[in-house]
Structure 1
């Protein structure tokens, strides 16, 4: 089952899946359009997933129910079809930054939580790629900056291999550009609350490492190197172990971009064959929403469309 986007809605609310297996719901900036009761139910679903991790409470961001976090979040929730119980989510955050004097949105990959009993079910393409893919389409295929803060080697490797222009990237040994540095400075200055890093954490601009990062509400996510999931390529494991002090609680900050090359890799190598046609259907509706509909509306002189001025 697929419910296509409402073509006249400013923020998407997408549902994919079947009650026979699992249902995925993707919500853009729910704090700006959901009712208080809907937001309360949404936050409770997120907390339900967190409780399955047995790590205690998380005292930051959308799990805390912060209105600011919900206003800027893009949430992917996966429910068990037969029972309707949530068992996994990914919460991205849209951060407004400035690069070279121009406004630039950066999508923080955010918090991912999966019920331990539901792991290894092939959901990584949904949790790590689907939402950024949809945002890339909505941005009319212009590159979208992404950020990632983690101490997990498997995630370092996933981001390095899934996105373009990633720094740091231990496999390709990429160069730190001016844009990487400017964005990193702004993110670590203005948006620490997004990833639960306290004000006392120090950012190392050379290594792109946040030292003593687990003091701002994400304390219970701190891991030892042995506990952190490893990547199949040992280069990422060795890089993370050498770069971070796990006893102190460090994180690596990665910055990269979702671009056309990344989009191609995602479509060809990441999406399961059984889901490919569904996503093609979704892409078609997205193209209609963000390309064809504004053109049709532009030719209408009888109705006011706000900043979309009609042809006279």
Structure 2
């Protein structure tokens, strides 16, 4: 009897800027041997200690829970010469249901950068590059993403990086799909981002009230101390919607799709450069010619929005 085929999980290293490299590991709890996993988690903890000092986080990957690590995508950035870990992002893979079929949500999760390397533009790698690689890994099908934060800089980054994001700058609208996914995230997955059961959720504004009670207590900020976005509209949005004294968060939901991947590529390789032009051309060719063939050949996956006609 043949053994079931286990999907190959992403474990790759790519450049992350001058003197830096990033390692991206999909589901490290399944992909790595225990010794390798322990080293990777210790790298993450060392970054957290540099940011938090003596304070400890007690949720998510810091707890070392194998079940959590089996549905996490971990990106760790290292200095090439010293090998020192300087930043990380932990994306959670959340299961949900939409339109009667199962979907995955990439929850952007926690990002930390050592204080001495901040301002190096690492957010593009920690968020954008990881999501683009996972998008390609999933045959360039649109993938839902979510984010929970009270930091205006992150709210703006999510709104400008991904497609169809709510809440975002006006006239962003809440769709039925946004609401369905938000309710499932809050009903099933709040423990994945350190929000306690007693926290409330305003489904009209996508605001989580009293959010810092489920293990993420040390991340609570004042509005004054939270990093601001260069576009004041996101700072004003957070100031108007969130009660920082109580500890509120915004839940944002959007998608990584061809438009978002193209925007990301335009940021890291401007279109007027040769790499930018080649990259944009490759994306257009994939969208126009290759994707339909790939999806037609894969009988195990639904066509969804890529089908050429509606039934």
TM range (shorter): 0.7 to 0.9
Verify the 8 A CA contact 1:125 1:271 in the aligned structure 2: no
Pairing partner for 1:218 from 210, 216, 220: 216
Query: Residue 51 of structure 2: SS of its match in structure 1?
Result: coil
Distance 1:18 1:175, change over 3 A: closer
Verify the 8 A CA contact 1:19 1:82 in the aligned structure 2: no
TM-aligned CA deviation for residue 33 of structure 1: 2.2
Pairing partner for 1:264 from 259, 262, 265: 262
- Look up the match of 2:163: 164
Query: Residue 165 of structure 1: SS of its match in structure 2?
Result: strand
Distance 1:84 1:275, change over 3 A: farther
1:127 to 2:120 alignment = no
Query: Residue 186 of structure 2: SS of its match in structure 1?
Result: helix
- Look up the match of 1:205: 203
- Look up the match of 2:180: 182
Distance 1:126 1:272, change over 3 A: farther
Q: Which runs of at least 4 in structure 1 moved beyond 4 Å after TM superposition?
A: 271-277
Q: How does 1:90-129 map to 2 (within 5 A)?
A: 90-129=89-128
1:201 and 1:19 map into 2 onto residues whose CA distance is: 39
TM-aligned CA deviation for residue 66 of structure 1: 1.4
1:222 and 1:18 map into 2 onto residues whose CA distance is: 29
TM-aligned CA deviation for residue 17 of structure 1: 3.1
- Look up the match of 2:86: 87
Distance 1:40 1:182, change over 3 A: same
Verify the 8 A CA contact 2:105 2:143 in the aligned structure 1: yes
1:158 and 1:270 map into 2 onto residues whose CA distance is: 14
**How many residues were matched structurally?**
281
Verify the 8 A CA contact 2:29 2:69 in the aligned structure 1: yes
**Deviations 1:196-246 (CA, angstroms, capped at 9, x unpaired):** 000100011011000000011110000000000001111110110110110
1:12 and 1:227 map into 2 onto residues whose CA distance is: 36
**Deviations 1:148-186 (CA, angstroms, capped at 9, x unpaired):** 0000001111111111110111x2321111110110000
2:274 and 2:200 map into 1 onto residues whose CA distance is: 43
Verify the 8 A CA contact 2:74 2:90 in the aligned structure 1: yes
**Deviations 1:43-89 (CA, angstroms, capped at 9, x unpaired):** 11100000010351111101221111110011110011111110100
- Look up the match of 2:137: 138
- Look up the match of 1:154: 153
**Deviations 1:104-150 (CA, angstroms, capped at 9, x unpaired):** 11000000000010011122210110110011101211111000000
TM-aligned CA deviation for residue 276 of structure 1: 5.1
Query: Residue 76 of structure 1: SS of its match in structure 2?
Result: strand
Query: Residue 26 of structure 1: SS of its match in structure 2?
Result: strand
Give me the TM-score of the superposition, normalised by structure 1.
0.84
Query: Residue 53 of structure 1: SS of its match in structure 2?
Result: helix
- Look up the match of 1:69: 68
- Look up the match of 2:25: 27
1:18 and 1:192 map into 2 onto residues whose CA distance is: 31
Verify the 8 A CA contact 1:19 1:81 in the aligned structure 2: no
- Look up the match of 2:308: none
Verify the 8 A CA contact 1:152 1:229 in the aligned structure 2: yes
Q: How does 1:287-306 map to 2 (within 5 A)?
A: none
